[in-house]
Amino acid sequence: MPTFQQFPLPDAGEGLTEAEIVAWQVAVGDRVEVNQTIVEIETAKSLVDLPSPWAGVVTQLLVAPGTTVDVGTPIIEIDTDPDGAAAPTEPPVVTGSVRHVGGAERHRGVEPGGAEEMEAAREASAPAPEPAAKPEPVLVGYGLAEGGTGRRPRGTEAAAPAPRSPHALAKPPVRKLARELGVSLDSVTPTGPGGIVTREDVLAMSAQAEARTLATYAGDEQPWLASGTVSSDGRQTRVPVKSVRKRTAEAMVASAFSAPHVTVFHTIDVTRTMKLVERLRADREFADVRVTPLLIAAKALMLAIRRHPEINASWDDASQEIVYKHYINLGIAAATPRGLVVPNIKDAHRLTLRELADGIAQLTATARAGRVTPADMSDGTITITNVGVFGIDTGTPILNPGEAAILAFGAIREQPWVHKGKIKVRHVTQLALSFDHRLVDGELGARVLADVARVLAEPAHGLVWG
């Protein structure tokens, strides 16, 4: 007899409680092998490929793409004995339920029970007649099995109406009205008897089209609309808060309202840093890696931490202790299509400048591809956010939770600057350092920022402090 196994959503990270089903890599009827990727999920931190724990044939996809489910919820059913190799026993009892956003449930199963059980066994062993048309598999939230009832999940479209005739039916006055209003009759859903388009149908379609024309703006048909529900008048799109955006919001609120933030600023001449960047780009040692001013800023920050290690700390509320870190896990804030993520380079203080450049490049590429792991995001000690890449001069960054400071690196611009008593065109940028005032006094924060600025203004300081 077939053996059906339901695979529950596992905890793919540290303390994962829920995840969104992004895309299925298999379909009903597909054969799968052990450890073959079957689904891509999105957690609060990253995209994760889940492998199959069994070999067999997929019998059901229990959760529709775009649905967020809790850890432990069955997401797929696999027949692990599709060829009937196992010895027949009693008819199988397969039960289970799937909960998705919106609260709908779907139960399936065959309960043993006397004559009904025997009849089910006979039907299972008898050759099934060839169906006229094989029904499509039913996904939870995407429709119902025969005789079922339920609600569609939030964010999905209502069931499509019955297909219309290629040529809409309408009376001559209605056709004339449609021409005057510029409404295509074939695009109108008829409500009249026998599938005829009424005057009210045409007026409703015209009003809807006019509302969208007035409400929308150039470029609003971008894919982000597909992730939410558009109002009938086209004036709003509601997108559920989940995954990275949800995690970021929770973390930023917790940080902003638990750690008293202070920000100090510094405007500096980084012309010599720009010259160093050009020299490194021409150096064969750095030929296959991207060298940017951010690399020098990262090195400058670590040199400043070496001189002022008290800033590399965290506040432990539970034990009411300050935890000083004897290592630097350097976080790089990365803007991705999925939202802001802050993976970190482990033990960055041990890396050479070339190794640090490699680390930043790999970390950025991984983050933008949505492939950071929970381990990449954990145990950060201090962060850099490069707002200058967007042409922004500076900002007041919010601390990454669990860290004492974050450095904002602004855009580098050519502008007039007093250099050696004369006004010259120099490369100038702004730095902003936000810090937790429970851990960092104003003097310490100012000294750290001043040291970062000194290295960027004159990279040779790195030789002295290194």
**Catalytic positions:** 437
Number of Cβ within 10 Å of residue 296's Cβ equals: 24
Beta bridge partners of 97: 107
Count how many Cα atoms sit within 13 Å of the Cα of residue 35 in the half-sphere of its side chain: 0
Amino acid at 388: G
302, 308, 404: which is closest to 351 by C-alpha?
Answer: 302
Question: Minimal CA–CA distance to 332: which of 261, 407, 410, 265?
Answer: 407
Q: Give the pairing of strands 107-108 and 31-32.
A: unpaired
How many residues are given for the chain?
A: 466
The answer to whether residues 28 and 58 touch, using CB atoms and an 8 Å cutoff, is yes
Nearest to 342 by CA among 350, 334, 353: 334
Could you tell me the two tokens for 464? Answer: 């002295």
Those residues whose C-beta lies under 8 Å from the C-beta of residue 179, and which sit 6 or more positions away, are: none
> How far does CA 80 lie from the centroid of its chain?
33
Encoded amino acid at 27, one letter: A
Alpha carbon 78 to chain centroid, angstroms: 28
